[in-house]
């Protein structure tokens, strides 16, 4: 199985800050990488697919980049409603696997 | 509205069997793969497997192969996840989710989740 390693596991930032999360794959996955947001008590929500494509309706402050083994997820200006845990997920081959998650909190 | 609606929370004893469901509506159910994702209490997301309701082609994560069975009944637009003998370690929230499109391995529509509690 391909292992997905996210960092950091948690972070605290102020409203308006730029927030960056990284995701590293244990082998080359091209751009077969997605990002999800999960708020407490809710189902995950797809934000970005194919490493950098914003899902319809997702605010433009969210963005993704990378290819191969190293990927980045960015919130350009953190908002209070962005408090959540964020997960990366690859789909290069089966089984698809998720990163362990990054919990984002407001400072 | 495109949606997946899952069956309600379950409380079971170890050794009991269980089948939970996920009903799709608002789209062509047989045209999209449906996956299952486990989330143990306080933990992250785990991909369990995926089924194509059109022909019941099913793929499992090795971690879940033989532990659960994924199935679908296209006549009622419903996918299922079942256990023949539950263990306490099966206690978790289980989500079904729709694969976005052929060639895009992302889940774009999620069910609300079914909490399964296994306790003696």
Contact B113 A43 (CB under 8 A): yes
Q: Does B102 touch chain A (CB under 8 A)?
A: no
pLDDT, chain B, mean: 97
Return the pLDDT at B103. Answer: 82
Q: What angle do CA A62, A33, A92 make, to 5 degrees?
A: 170
**What is the model's pLDDT at position B104?**
87
Average confidence (pLDDT) over B29-42 = 97
A41-93 pLDDT, tens digit each: 999 999 999 999 999 999 999 999 999 999 999 999 999 999 999 999 999 99
Q: Tens digits of per-residue pLDDT, B57-95?
A: 999 999 999 999 999 999 999 999 999 999 999 999 999
Instruction: Indicate the pLDDT class of residue A8, thresholds 50, 70 and 90.
Output: very high
Answer whether residue B101 shows pLDDT above 90.
no
Contacts of A94 in chain B (CB under 8 A): 59, 61
Residue B66: per-residue pLDDT: 97
- Mean pLDDT score of chain A: 97
Chain A residues touching B105 at Cβ < 8 A? 32, 34, 89-91, 96
Q: Cα–Cα distance between A68 and A25 in angstroms, integer?
A: 8
What are the phi and psi torsion angles at B90 (to 5°)? -85, -5
Q: Which residues on A lie below 8 Å from B95 (Cβ)?
A: 43-44
Cβ contacts of A100 on chain B, cutoff 8 Å: 44
Compute the distance between CA of residue A19 and CA of residue A85 in angstroms, rounded to an integer. Answer: 13
Strand partners, A64: A73
What is the Cα–Cα distance from A62 to A57, expressed in whole angstroms? 11
Report yes or no: B63 at the A interface, CB cutoff 8 Å.
yes
Per-residue pLDDT band for A28 (boundaries 50, 70, 90) equals: very high
Q: What is the pLDDT of residue A17?
A: 98
d(CA A91, CA A98) in angstroms, rounded, equals: 9
Give the closest-approach CA distance of A18 to chain B in angstroms: 24
Average pLDDT of the segment spanning B12-33: 97
């Amino acid at each position: 199985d391909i292992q997905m390693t996210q960092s950091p596991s948690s972070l605290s930032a102020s409203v308006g800050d730029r927030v960056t999360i990284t995701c590293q794959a244990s082998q080359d996955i091209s751009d077969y990488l997605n990002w999800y947001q999960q708020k407490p008590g809710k189902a995950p929500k797809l934000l970005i697919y194919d490493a950098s494509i914003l899902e319809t309706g997702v605010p433009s402050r969210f963005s993704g980049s990378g290819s191969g083994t190293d990927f980045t997820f960015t919130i350009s200006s953190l908002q209070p409603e962005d408090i959540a845990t964020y997960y990366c997920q690859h789909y290069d081959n089966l089984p698809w696997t998720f990163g362990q998650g990054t919990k984002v909190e407001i400072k | 509205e495109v949606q997946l609606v899952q069956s309600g929370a379950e409380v079971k004893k170890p050794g009991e069997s269980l089948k939970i469901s996920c009903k799709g509506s608002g789209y062509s159910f047989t045209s999209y793969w449906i996956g299952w994702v486990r989330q143990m209490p306080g933990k992250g997301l785990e991909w369990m497997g995926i089924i194509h309701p059109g022909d019941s082609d099913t793929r499992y994560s090795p971690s879940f192969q033989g532990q659960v069975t994924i199935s679908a009944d296209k006549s009622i637009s419903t996918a299922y996840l079942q256990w023949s003998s539950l263990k306490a370690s099966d206690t978790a929230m289980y989500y079904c989710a729709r694969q976005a499109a052929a060639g895009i391995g992302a889940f774009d529509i999620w069910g609300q989740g079914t909490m399964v509690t296994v306790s003696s």
